[in-house]
Amino acid sequence: MFENDKFKTGTLSIARVVASVSQGRSFGVVGGGETVSALKQTKMLDHVDWVSTGGGAMLKYLAGEKMPGLRKIVN
């Protein structure tokens, strides 16, 4: 809900933290179209290790569900 000024500061702060610890101390993962848009506003998108516009699919994959579209890539 970063489009709402009430939540914007918190969302952008979290985006900056994820980007700042990526590519080193932690592996930064960001997913979802709105989340990617928020990260772009911080101008730190290139500092995150892995970015996906498919938030729901990314969460399912991280939870261990099989992604049919990735079978040929992974195997």
Contact in structure between 42 and 15 (CB atoms under 8 Å): yes
Which band of pLDDT confidence, cut at 50, 70 and 90, is reported for residue 70?
Answer: low
Residue 30, strand partner residues: 51
Distance CA 27, CA 4 (A): 28
Tell me, what's the pLDDT at 74? 60
Which band of pLDDT confidence, cut at 50, 70 and 90, is reported for residue 46?
Answer: very high
Which band of pLDDT confidence, cut at 50, 70 and 90, is reported for residue 25?
Answer: confident
> Which residue type is seen at 33?
G
Least Cα distance to 18 among 8, 5, 10, 27 occurs for 27
Does residue 72 carry a pLDDT above 80?
no
| pLDDT above 70: percentage of residues in the chain | 92
Residues 29-41 have a mean pLDDT of: 87
